């Protein structure tokens, strides 16, 4: 199976960026694990053929098949992988998700790397999907943040999309988001806003505000995208009244599965949550292999 993006998933980055990220991830992971040699499989016949299955040991949203494919193809392009479950599918405990055929040594060498990506990305997609389902009857959209595992930014952004949420900016390079510490680096908020007004990307710039007075000031400058940082539900309701649909309002900070529906009920446009990429619990997958 090629490293295809599911047809219903629209990413904020190009196919080349996606493919390059997979290649970089797999090269780094294989180098980390193998270091050029797998001493254990040196004891096994290089010509022996293996047949393996990967099984889910708990329910989850499946995510990471492009990384699994790339891992085994990197080790031996002749390895065959037959996927029995689709990327983004809800899988059940005990379900076999794919079959792998090829040299015994190559399958064993790639086992841990492949499972590591599968368990991490499926965890991200599953956590994301849980949050999405909690607010599905409201108009608010769920977004991720830059709080990703180092080196896995594109991978986790992809997993968030598989889970049904939206991507915030990829990094510092593709969108301006002015946060509290940026504001503190200026003499005052007015000086910063005057500079922002001159920026060619003015309509796309997002500014973080800490209270309602800052919100009013930012709105007076015509900012179209505002992040409400650590606002309580009552304060968000007040912010919405003040805003009068002039800007996109995004709630962020101290939002989890227990209270996300309360934030969505306010009518806020967006909710960004860091825990869907940083507070994940790996999904349990295992590989079982037989000689052929």
pLDDT tens, residue by residue, 236-273: 999 999 999 999 999 999 999 999 999 999 999 999 99
Give catalytic status of residue 111 as yes or no.
no
Q: Are residues 82 and 141 in the same domain?
A: no
User: By C-alpha distance, which of 257, 273, 262 is closest to 236?
Assistant: 262
Q: Are residues 153 and 112 in the same domain?
A: no
Of the listed ranges 38-42, 159-163, 178-182, the one predicted with least confidence? 38-42
> In the chain, how many domains are there?
2
Q: Are residues 206 and 101 in the same domain?
A: no
Q: Residue 56 CB: number of other CB atoms within 10 A? A: 22
Q: Which of 147, 224, 235, 237 is catalytic?
A: 147
Quick one: 281 exposed, middle or buried, by C-beta within 10 A (0-12, 13-18, 19+)?
A: exposed
Give catalytic status of residue 146 as yes or no.
no
**Does any domain span residue 36?**
yes
Residues 196 and 184: their CA atoms lie apart, in Å, by: 15
Q: Are residues 273 and 285 in the same domain?
A: no
CA 266, 267, 272: angle at the middle one, nearest 5? Answer: 90
| Domain membership of residue 73 as a residue range | 15-128+280-291
Quick one: 154 exposed, middle or buried, by C-beta within 10 A (0-12, 13-18, 19+)?
A: buried
Q: Which of 208, 214, 250, 270 is catalytic?
A: 208
pTM, entire model:
0.92
Q: Are residues 285 and 270 in the same domain?
A: no
Contacts of 14 by beta carbon, 8 Å cutoff, 6+ apart? none
Q: Are residues 80 and 150 in the same domain?
A: no
pLDDT tens, residue by residue, 58-113: 999 999 999 999 999 999 999 999 999 999 999 999 999 999 999 988 999 999 99
Give catalytic status of residue 15 as yes or no.
no
Residue 6 DSSP label: P
Give catalytic status of residue 10 as yes or no.
no
Q: Which of 92, 179, 184, 197 is catalytic?
A: 179
pLDDT band at 281 (very low <50, low <70, confident <90, very high): very high
CATH number at residue 217: 3.20.20.70
**Does any domain span residue 27?**
yes
Q: Are residues 68 and 54 in the same domain?
A: yes
**Does any domain span residue 85?**
yes
Residues 58 and 38: their CA atoms lie apart, in Å, by: 29
Residue 166 pLDDT more than 90?
Answer: yes
pLDDT score of 291: 60
Q: Are residues 156 and 52 in the same domain?
A: no
Q: Are residues 33 and 165 in the same domain?
A: no
Give catalytic status of residue 153 as yes or no.
no
- Largest Cα separation within the chain, whole Å, is 73
């Amino acid at each position: 199976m090629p490293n295809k993006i599911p047809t219903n998933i629209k990413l904020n980055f190009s196919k080349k960026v996606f493919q390059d990220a997979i290649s970089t991830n797999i090269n780094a992971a294989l180098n980390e694990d193998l270091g050029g040699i797998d001493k254990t499989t040196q004891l096994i016949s290089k010509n022996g053929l293996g047949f393996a299955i990967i099984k889910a040991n708990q329910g989850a949203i499946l995510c990471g098949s492009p990384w699994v494919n790339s891992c085994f193809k990197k080790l031996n392009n002749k390895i065959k992988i037959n996927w029995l479950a689709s990327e983004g599918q809800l899988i059940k405990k005990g379900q076999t998700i794919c079959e792998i055929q090829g040299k015994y040594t190559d399958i064993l060498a790639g086992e841990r790397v492949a499972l590591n990506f599968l368990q991490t990305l499926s965890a991200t997609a599953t956590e994301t999907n849980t949050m999405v389902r909690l607010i599905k009857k409201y108009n608010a959209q769920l977004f991720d943040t830059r709080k990703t595992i180092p080196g896995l930014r594109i991978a986790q952004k992809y997993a968030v999309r598989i889970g049904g949420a939206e991507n915030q900016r990829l990094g510092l390079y593709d969108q301006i988001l002015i946060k509290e510490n940026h504001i503190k680096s200026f003499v005052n908020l007015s000086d910063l806003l005057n500079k922002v007004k001159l920026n060619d990307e003015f309509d796309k710039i997002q500014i973080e505000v800490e209270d309602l007075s800052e919100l009013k000031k930012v709105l007076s400058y015509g900012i179209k995208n505002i992040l409400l940082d650590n606002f309580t539900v009552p304060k968000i309701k007040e912010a919405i009244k003040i805003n009068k649909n002039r800007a996109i309002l995004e709630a962020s900070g101290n939002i989890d599965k227990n209270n996300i529906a309360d934030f969505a009920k306010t009518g806020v446009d967006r909710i960004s949550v860091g825990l869907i990429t940083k507070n994940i619990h790996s999904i349990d997958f295992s590989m079982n292999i037989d000689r052929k």
